[in-house]
Structure 1
Amino acid sequence: MNILHIDSAITGDASVSRLLTAEIVAKLKAGRRDATVTYRDLAEGVPAIDNDWFHAVRQSPETPTADQQALIDVSDRFLAEVKDADVLVIGLPIYNFTLTAQLKNWFDQIARAGISFRYTAEGPEGLMKGKRAIVAYAAAGTPIGSELDFASGYIRHMLGFIGITDVEFVPADGLAFDRDAGLARARTALDKIAA
């Protein structure tokens, strides 16, 4: 089993989503000698897509310049990690009611027509099928699934868009009001997730 472990919180050791992703990965690895983990810390930076990225990556020039090739290589690396994974463990800290900019940038980098999805007469089809995603949702005051939560639905949609429809959430919300209770709820959800 190949695990892609993704964190995006900017709060370092104080991050609940980082704590939870580590616990999820440990549970998945327990008793599995074949498990491998690729770790990606998006807080270290994920380039936002822009006009240069569009011309390099989306338009795929036959002879890209060195700068264009560098942009293509970054996107290709992110995509290769997803392709190689059986399970994605994603930390989803909530800032201002939504996901981090770095996590949004990561989705922009991997949503590529003809590689992670394709357009068909029936609509878009995800090409990263057969994978599982476990998302550690951590929020100070945004309850998961509430009208204030603009992140969990987006994550589920984007993963489904690229073909990953087996998506589970480990939610730790209400942390600003009762951190211990929020963590207890998350760990109860984690206990129910099959390794």
Structure 2
Amino acid sequence: MFVNSLCGGWYDEETTLERDEFNAVFAAHYTRVLRYVQRRVDDRGAAEEIAAETFLVAWSKRGHVEITVPWLYGTAANKIGDHYRRSQRKRAAEAALARRAEEAPEEVSPLDRLALTSAINVLTAKEREVVMLTYWERLPAKQVAEVVGGSEASIWVTLTRARTKMREHLHDFPHPATEGGDHALR
């Protein structure tokens, strides 16, 4: 027997295959999960901790659930929520959202970024998460539902409401980019 330092438990040789399979999942998805967390958490160290905690949960659930990217994102989202509840850093989360808008592609003008950031800020936290997972992470509605919890239909309803709010906000936003060009929100 030996101690696995990552998962903190005792294992015998019968679990070698299980460990190898888990290590393959970890190697394939850790960077993606870490990036997901880093886009939502300011502190790099905290992001790495949350990503590691996500895989600790995955290890503890192995054999009971299928470890997929949407499942990992959902677990990471829960760990991120735990982090923000413990630290009560709502302002830091809003700053991270603003930074993501600043990291938009170069072809987006500063005024368009301002308009988009302003429109995203009118959304509830759940609406923002659904919009970000749909458009930033490019997950289909079914996988978004797995991440945030709920049905695929509820994700479509949330996405429709969020786009309507953003469209109305952009309609009132005094900038040429919104004139006749809200095609991204349809």
TM-score, normalized by length of structure 1?
0.26
Q: Which has the larger radius of gyration?
A: 2
Greater RCO (Cα-Cα under 8 Å, separation 6 or more): 1
The structure carrying a bigger helix percent of its residues is 2
